[in-house]
Amino acid sequence: MLTPYIPYDLKPNVAADLRVAERVDHISLAWASPAYELCSTIHTSYIAKSLSGRMTPSERLLLGAVQDTTKEICRVLVKMWATGVEVGLDAKYWCPGETVLVVMRKCVTCRLGLFSVVHLPVLL
């Protein structure tokens, strides 16, 4: 889902000497910000740059709502992906991997937070 938005040269910062339980809560995901920027702006940037001067107030309001929702969805998706990369769950990026359960618990928390922001019913 995020593959089109991940720059080819994007690489994680590896802190191999920390245990996964400690790392998941203290991971710096700044290295993943290019993927977030592409994901969150690719679908609406043309409209915002080229058409915003001709939009009605209600169209600008709708565009803002779409942009805010897209940013939140991309923030959660990139956070979940980057956390998995950091602990070694993505074969493309080698990182020392230890346990999946800690990451999965963190991702469930992210997903529940996203559903509450987007006002979707939580399907477990």
0.85 surpassed by pTM = no
| Helix runs in 54-119, H state only | 57-86, 100-118
> What percent of the chain is predicted at pLDDT more than 70?
60
Report which of residues 23 and 39 the model is more confident about.
39
Which residues have C-beta within 8 Å of that of residue 9, sequence separation ≥ 6? none
Report which of residues 87 and 34 the model is more confident about.
34
Rounded Cα gap, residues 48 and 59, in angstroms: 11
Would the pLDDT of 124 be above 70?
Answer: no
Domain ranges of the chain: 31-118
